[in-house]
Structure 1
Amino acid sequence: MRKIFVLVVLLCITQFSFGQDIKATIEDLERKRFAAQVAKDGDYLNKIFADDLIYVHSSGKKDNKEAYVASVLNGGSVYSKVDIEDITVRAYNKDQTAVVNGTVLITQPPVDGKPVLLHLRYLVVYTKDSKKGWQLNSWQSSRLPN
């Protein structure tokens, strides 16, 4: 009986640690993604965004991967700084899907001498591709009051 108890405890600990690894991995990917947006790193963005990406901006505008990456590279979407204020990662589908809820404060270049601040709540869905690794499939953001 004691062996079964120990086995159950070890199984629970193992499952918990795998869940923590996925959460840490996705949090890291989110930080790298936002840094890539600021740096206009098209290579990284093309790598992390799934080919079927749908991004619904806080304005309601909808972009696919090609259009969004192009807007970052050509200055249509400009980010001076992105501060992650809150991030929650939940794993699903036998750790093959991750849903992220977060809040960020985005600083954009100044207009009339004042920086433009976008305070956003966002939702992101990642799926794990056997060849490409974690891919961001869906991203939607909503404005919060500043």
Structure 2
Amino acid sequence: MKKLILIFTLMSSTYAFAQNKAEQSLLTAVEKLKNAMVSGERKDLEDVAAADLSYGHSGGKVEDKATFVETIASGKSDFVSIDLKNQTVKVTGNTGVVRHELHAKTNDGGKPGEVHLGILLVWQLQGKDWKLLARQAYKLPQ
């Protein structure tokens, strides 16, 4: 019985470590997305997004991958800085769900501004890389 408990404890520890490792690699992908959105580097934006990306804005507009990349890379949507708060992450199999608040300084069309949004990100593990599959923003309660 003691051997069985020991084996179960070791298996549980291994699973917890693996889950933590998966969550850490997903958080690295979230950071890559944030940095790509601030830099506006087309290649970085393309690398982090899945081919079938569905990128939803708080006003209801939904973009595909090409539109998401072009909007940021062209400077039409210009993030000067992004601060993520109250972030949670959950990995189940090859799917990751990240929620956070996004607080950003913007300079869209040369007009300085700020945005404060709730964000839901859905990620898919493709090979060894996390790819952003879906994003939905929503207005935070005042």
Do they fold alike, i.e. is TM over 0.5? yes
Gaps of 5+ in 2: none
Q: Quick one: structure 1 residues 84 and 11, their matched pair in 2 at CA, closer, same or farther if it must change by over 3 Å?
A: same
CA distance in 1, matches of 2:97, 2:89: 6
1:145 deviates by 4.8
Aligned to 1:89: 89
1:45 deviates by 1.2
1:123 alignment partner, one of 120, 124, 135: 120
Write the mapping of 1:15-54 to structure 2, written as runs, cut at 5 A. 15-54=15-54
1:110 deviates by 8.3
Q: Quick one: structure 1 residues 8 and 98, their matched pair in 2 at CA, closer, same or farther if it must change by over 3 Å?
A: same
CA distance in 1, matches of 2:108, 2:46: 28
| Deviation by residue 1:97-131 (Cα, 9 ceiling, x = unmatched) | 10111111011128998x4111111101111112x
CA distance in 1, matches of 2:85, 2:43: 26
Between the aligned residues of both structures, percent identity stands at 26
Aligned to 1:136: 132
Q: Quick one: structure 1 residues 112 and 35, their matched pair in 2 at CA, closer, same or farther if it must change by over 3 Å?
A: closer
Q: Which runs of 4+ in 1 moved over 6 A?
A: 110-113
Aligned to 2:102: 104
Please, what TM-score do these two structures have when normalized by structure 2?
0.92
Please, what TM-score do these two structures have when normalized by structure 1?
0.90
Aligned residues: 142
Contact 1:86–1:104 (8 Å) recurs in 2: no
Of 12-21 and 104-113, more deviation after overlay is shown by: 104-113
Aligned to 2:2: 2
Q: Quick one: structure 1 residues 16 and 49, their matched pair in 2 at CA, closer, same or farther if it must change by over 3 Å?
A: same
SS of match in other structure, 1:80: strand
Contact 2:89–2:99 (8 Å) recurs in 1: yes
